[in-house]
Amino acid sequence: MRLWKWIGVAGVAGVAATGVVVARNERQRRSYTPDDVRTRLHERAEAIENPEPVPVVVQDNRRWPKLRRLLRKPRDNDQ
């Protein structure tokens, strides 16, 4: 029976901790002024419209020549 008591206490503690986290996040969210929110939304929209280019990585295929030979498609003249 003691196990069930500990499980209950752990559940209550988890619910309380979740409530604290939600309340803190809500308080931080409400601390923004409307101008702050508008500025952040404009920054996000600009980042979506003008994404930064992603660098292209060229792989060196000479690294595993034996594996490449084993995995390549067989040709008609291969036997």
Q: List pLDDT tens digits, range 18-71.
A: 999 999 888 877 788 889 989 999 999 998 888 777 777 766 656 666 777 777
Distance separating alpha carbons of residues 51 and 41, to the nearest angstrom: 15
Tokens of 72: 């390549």
Sign of the dihedral through C-alpha 57, 62, 68, 74:
positive
Q: Which are the contacts of 62, defined by CB distance < 8 A and separation ≥ 6?
A: none
Cα angle, residue 31 at apex, residues 29 and 36 outer, rounded to 5°: 85
Note the pTM of the prediction, 2 decimals. Answer: 0.36
Sign of the dihedral through C-alpha 65, 70, 72, 77:
positive
